[in-house]
Structures are given as structure tokens and as C-alpha cells.
Amino acid sequence: MLKLGVNIDHVATLREARYRGQPQGEPDPLVAAQLSEAAGAHGITAHLREDRRHILDRDVWRLREIVRTRLNLEMANLPEIAAIALKLKPDIVCLVPERRIEVTTEGGLDVVANEPALTETRRRMNDAGIEVSLFIGPDADQIAASARVGSQFIELHTGRFADAFADEAGRERELQRLIAGATQAHALGLRVNAGHGLNYHNLPALHCVPHLVELNIGHSIISRALSVGLPAAVRQMLVLMDNYPG
């Protein structure tokens, strides 16, 4: 069964647009997490960025208390954030690149160039009982390096696929890259997640990508929730994930 992780960062973004610097505000990302789980989501994803632009420290601590499925903490490989993760003990951390000027994570990690540092963080997380995923593009060298790092998962960056979706040739090219990447990762013993730019229109095309375990989706679900409500938006996405052949 293909699992759905709901990213609640955009709920926190909306809250911070009005209540930044205040001890409370709406909408509450914790309520979004609870509604998503109740609607059938298999996990909750939150990105604690260095600049704290959306998810805040208090959010992740409260999420750890209430999430009953699987808490995925996205994080840059930074000492301050790693220290929080080791105390928080999410079920899994997904290490991502992070730049202050970006709107959202723009690309995958360069695992090849940062292999020793990522290996050390992976070791510390695993020693604390936390699984590790690396957010990477479907590039053969990056996938091989991820296996050498010893991560349990990779998360394939699907942004280029999403951007090319309207162009048939571009869509097929990016799907073939994802298929090759997932196949290589599986052969190396890595479990494969995917995410970035996935929505209700392009997700069914991913059914041809083998070995996927979980899709992490935020913006599209939160956007649709404005018209149909969050539980319905989650359930509609789950319907599109039914019958994934694996």
C-alpha cells in the first residue's frame, strides 16, 4: 500500500502571516495534523527551518505529543536542528537542502559533496532510534552516495516531473528518471519515498514508478482544503493512491 504523509508547513505559513511573534494564532497546524490522521493519512511531515518561517519549535514538540501515525521531521543538516531532532525523537528525519532566499525547497541534497557530514548525522540519528531519509534528485551518483551514507530511505524530488507535467515529452523524460532512480535505490537496499509538486492531476502518473513507499504532499492538499475541507482533501488524495502496483 502506498502511504500518504501530509505536510502541514503551509498551515503554519498562513498562521505566521498574521500572528508571527505571537504565542498563538490560527490556523493551528496541530489541528491540521489531527484532521489529516483522522481522514486516513499515514504520517505527518513538518519542516523546522533554520529561519523558523513557518513551523516553530513549539509546534514540533506538540506534534510529537499528538501524532499517532508517523512524525517526519524535515531538516537541514545543521547542528542546532540536529540537536533538537535528537531530543524530539521523531519517527524519521528527512535531511533536505535549505537556502534562506528560497520560497520552498528547490532541489535535492548534494550527497556526493557532503557524504562524511551526512554519514555522521545519519549515525547519530540511527543511534537515537530515528530513521533517516535523504531528499535527492533521481540521479545515479546521488543515489549511490545515499546508500554509502547508510540512510534507510531516500525521498525522490519530483519537482522536475511536476514542472514538466504539461509537456508530454518532458513528462515522459522525468518519469523515466524517477523509474530508473527508484529501481536503483531499491536494488541498493534503500526504501523510496517521493515528494515535491505532487497534486491531484499529476499523481496518478507516478503509478508507473516502482518501489514507492510514501508520498509526502502538502501544498496541493492544503489548497484543496480551502474549498472542500481538509478531511475531504486528504481522502481525495488517498483515492488517487489506491491500487498503486508497487
- Percent of the chain residues past pLDDT 90, beyond the cut: 95
Mean pLDDT within 179-206:
98
Q: Is the pLDDT of residue 89 over 90?
A: yes
Mean pLDDT within 194-199:
98
For residue 237, being part of any structural domain is answered with yes
State which residues form the domain around 126: 3-241
For residue 246, being part of any structural domain is answered with no
For residue 197, being part of any structural domain is answered with yes
For residue 124, being part of any structural domain is answered with yes
For residue 220, being part of any structural domain is answered with yes
For residue 233, being part of any structural domain is answered with yes
Strand partners, 45: 7, 72
Q: Write down the pTM of the prediction.
A: 0.95
For residue 71, being part of any structural domain is answered with yes
Active site residue 174: no
In total, how many domains does the chain have?
1
Q: Is the pLDDT of residue 103 over 70?
A: no
Q: In this predicted structure, what is the pLDDT of residue 246? A: 76
Would you tell me how many other CB atoms lie within 10 Å of the CB of residue 199? 16
For residue 43, being part of any structural domain is answered with yes
Residues 152, 165: Cα–Cα separation, whole Å: 29
Active site residue 54: no
- Percent of the chain residues past pLDDT 70, beyond the cut: 97
Residues 196, 201: Cα–Cα separation, whole Å: 13
CATH number of the domain bearing residue 154: 3.20.20.70
Q: In this predicted structure, what is the pLDDT of residue 21? A: 87
Q: Which is catalytic among the residues 37, 74, 98, 131?
A: 74
pLDDT digits 0-9 by tens, 132-184: 999 999 999 999 999 999 999 999 999 999 999 999 999 999 999 999 999 99
Three cell numbers at 134? 535523504
Q: Which is catalytic among the residues 10, 47, 54, 157?
A: 47
Q: Predicted confidence band at 99 (pLDDT cuts at 50, 70, 90)? A: low
Would you tell me how many other CB atoms lie within 10 Å of the CB of residue 18? 10
